[in-house]
Amino acid sequence: MVTRVVMPRLSLTMKEGTVGVWYKKEGDNVEKGEPLVEVFSEKATYDLEAPASGVLRKILVQEGVDASVNAGLAIITAPDESFSEAEISVEMPQAVEKAEKRILASPAAKRLAREHGIDLALVKGSGPDGRIVEEDVRRFIEETRGILPKVKEIIPLSGFRKTSAERVSASFRTVPHSTVVMEVDASNAMALHDKLQASYTAILVKAVAKTLAEYSIINSTLEGNQIKIFEDVNVGVAVATENGLVVPVIHNADKKSLGEIDAAIEELTQKARQGKLAREDLTGGTFTITNLGMYGVEFFTPIINPPEAAILGVGRIVEKPVVVDGKIETKPITMLSLSYDHRIVDGAPAGEFLRKVKGKVEKSFEIEG
């Protein structure tokens, strides 16, 4: 039986993914359930498993190439089983083709431009039909010497970085962002942290999850002309890895205890940094928390993680003078910044939501269970 291997949909907004490493080559035997190919998507790697046992007869999308969701990546058949190439090409969506403006340049010119990190689009060609030759690149180097900075390293915008760049750009371009900010007294959160050894992120996830259950409009998405409010409260937590940010999800966070949330965050963080997050770890998020406090950041404006309606940014805890009963005292203060989709939420309910989160953090012992 001919089995098609296709690009999986790993999130509601995913349109395409990138093929990473093929763990098998054409002609190899494969077993159902074993890792077959690495797929880059949603700022993480995912090992796509073989959907059937047999022989990997044909690889349709090579390493480093983008493919749309449900595009055919490979064909698995039984040993000696025949299959029709024409039938496969008709039935299966093909890899995404990128149309780019072609720049005419000689191989020597391209090689020299790569060595010096020069964008050939900036170079004027003197050859036939404007073709760029090596001498054109050398002349450009001389003309810009001391003007353009020297390039130390070139990092291709692909894989994690490409997905991240596309998602951030799409979010900022299509979603009208607005942000509200509040100072929060972290005294009780610090005491709870010391008592239970629970992370500050876990305390925030618990506070946010309880508040999302009360203010469901924040726990939503916009599809066409409809606002869809989610029943489940699934809180994503941004995690920094060597390859960029990933956002593993704590499902049904509103129904979990603080200890369960803390354990889940620790497990997901370890899996993220080892590149072992499963598909279910990355999908289904309805709200995101991103914490830059450990880097000394006091305040920042986070960008919404589509298709969610809002994201909470968390800054560092710092001792600040405050007035209490007419007297100046110092207290540990953190800044919370809520970016929200202004098409879904207005400033007043966004402010009320953040005020409720602030109240729960400041009364942290109430969310201990």
By annotation, the residues acting in catalysis are: 342, 346
Dihedral angle, C-alpha 259, 297, 287, 188, nearest 10 °: 40
The torsion angles phi and psi of 252, rounded to 5 degrees, stand at 50, 45
Q: Distance between CA atoms of 14 and 222, rounded to whole angstroms?
A: 16
Which token pair is 240?
């920094």
Query: How many Å is the maximal CA-CA distance in the chain?
Result: 86
Task: Give the pairing type, strands 287-291 and 310-314.
Answer: parallel
The torsion angles phi and psi of 137, rounded to 5 degrees, stand at -70, -40
How many angstroms from the chain centroid is the CA of residue 76?
Answer: 31
Query: If we measure between CA atoms, which residue out of 213, 190, 167, 169 comes closest to residue 361?
Result: 190
Could you tell me which residues are beta bridge partners of residue 333? 185, 318
**Which H/E stretch holds residue 333?**
strand 327-341
Contact 305, 327 (CB under 8 A): no
